[in-house]
Amino acid sequence: MSVNQSQLACRGALLTLLRRLHFYIGLFIGPFIFVAALTGTLYVLTPQIENALYHEALRTKDTGANQSLSQQIAAARKYTGEDASIFAVRPAPQPGDTTRVQFVDPELGESESRAIFVSPSTLAIQGDLTVYGTSGVLPLRTWIDQFHRELLLGDTGRLYSELAASWLWVATLGGVVLWLTSRPKRMRKVRQTPQRKARHWHITLGAALLLGLLFFSATGLTWSQWAGVNIDKMRSALGWMTPQVNTALVAQTGHQHHDPHAEHHAMMPGMTMPQTDDSTWDNVLTAARGAGIESTKIEIRPARSADKAWTVTEIDRAWPTHVDTAAVDPTTFRVIDRTWFADFPLVAKLTRWGIDAHMGVLFGLVNQLLLATFGLGLCAMVVLGYRMWWLKRPAASASNPAQTLCGAWLALPGTWRAGVVIIALLFGYCLPVMGASLLLFITVDVVRWRKSALRLQIS
């Protein structure tokens, strides 16, 4: 075999390998990608619905001067009982908004708290709802969010979303390579069969949504259970973690590092907070305002222990982003440390923006509509992929060993086979759910390959 023939044979085997892998991703991972895209679209489209549904809790018709924050908190305490521990307080950001006083409730799930909504002027209780995480979503979006992340199955269910995120970028880039290597060099008229139409729209959507699909995959992996740990280790090793204020009242140097996904694990079940004088909240807020915390959307958290400072954090993730934080000594009301978003390393800023864009909050309604377009487009791509498979499913192809991963891999030269194995092992280590699912792919493929090879021997 000449050099050119050998190169063409190697190229053909690689493309066959990629084509079969793309097919397996679509066939087996496609449903998970579809559910993740659909539920993610529902999540980003529901803030306005949630605001309307819980309007009585979020908004007040009461007018007049606001009472002090300590009086608002005292009203919430009177409603829940004096023994309840406060997890955080979000003062009313605008006139007509309510103040949110969040209490620890051991009966709630991880990252959930009981929020009492108080009218700032009359101290009337406007609502009593469960809120979730730093994002502060209410029950409707909490349910959608948990379905999106874990199918309401807890940590076990998180494997589904990690599976989808792990393979989405492979399917996307693999599809681009297959299109570039198989598209006709000249435009020629061909009969538009249903299969060709489905392929045309599948490819068109893939090209149009390319950057968005890669973005979804990358940001989704940072939230994942297994790959996310490896990503955090890499970011920590490279100094890319998000700075966090030092809350230790004993003198320490340097900033701690903050988990940008804190909205998903902000509070552990059964957590208790030290009891504090309600007047402390006003003084802490005044100190933080004096230190440069200017956003109207803030969250005040008391210390978890007596040797820690309180924190006042800006929570406005829209553009421009306001997430500065001040740590305040609750005894002297001295600001002991601050972090400014403007001083964050570039990667930390990109991480913050990426997460907020993924959640649909960075650019408001524009962000929501753009994410919805990408999410619905991805759903359509999955459906079109299944339609292509259904219309082009000749039974004879199952008897051809070249149509399997194993057959394509064995057709490669020895060095290429070794390279494919090394790459698979590397990605399997970095993305464990991808590695485990790839083993399942190979198991199914080996069975098919052996059966097809046996049929050929018999025939």
Q: pLDDT tens for residues 118-151? A: 999 999 999 999 999 888 999 999 999 999 999 9
pLDDT at position 260, please? 55
Q: State the DSSP code for 263.
A: G
Share of the chain above pLDDT 90, in %: 75
Q: What is the pLDDT of residue 183?
A: 73
Entry pTM: 0.89
Average pLDDT over the chain, rounded to an integer: 89
The pLDDT score that the predictor gives to residue 263 is 46
Distance between alpha carbon 231 and the CA centroid of its chain, in Å? 13
What residues pair up with 316 in beta bridges, in sequence order? 322
**pLDDT at residue 301 above 80?**
yes
Q: How far apart, in whole angstroms, are the C-alpha atoms of residue 302 and residue 331?
A: 12
Give the pLDDT score at 82: 85
Cross-strand partners of 112: 132
Q: What does the chain come to in residues?
A: 459
Task: Give 339-373 pLDDT, tens digit per residue.
Answer: 999 999 999 999 999 999 999 999 999 999 999 99
Query: 41-50, 81-90, 122-131, 439-448: lowest mean pLDDT where?
Result: 439-448
String of DSSP letters for 193-220: -HHHHHHHHHHHHHHHTHHHHHHHHHHH
pLDDT of residue 88 exceeding 90, the answer is yes
pLDDT of residue 274: 55
Q: Name the strand (E) or helix (H) holding 103.
A: strand 99-103
- Is-contact 388 380, C-beta < 8 A? no
Partners of 89 in beta bridges: 101, 300
CATH number of 62-137: 3.10.450
Evaluate if residue 66 carries a pLDDT over 90: yes
Q: How far apart are CA 355 and CA 266, in angstroms?
A: 16
Give me the residue spans of the domains in the chain: 3-45+152-223+364-458, 62-137
- Higher-confidence residue of 192 and 168: namely 168
Contact between 125 and 76 under an 8 Å Cβ cutoff? The reply is yes
| pLDDT tens figures, 202-231 | 999 999 999 999 999 999 999 999 999 999
Q: What percent of the chain has pLDDT over 70?
A: 89
CA dist 210 to 174, 202, 359, 363, 427, Å? 11, 12, 19, 20, 21
What are the beta bridge partners of residue 312?
300, 326
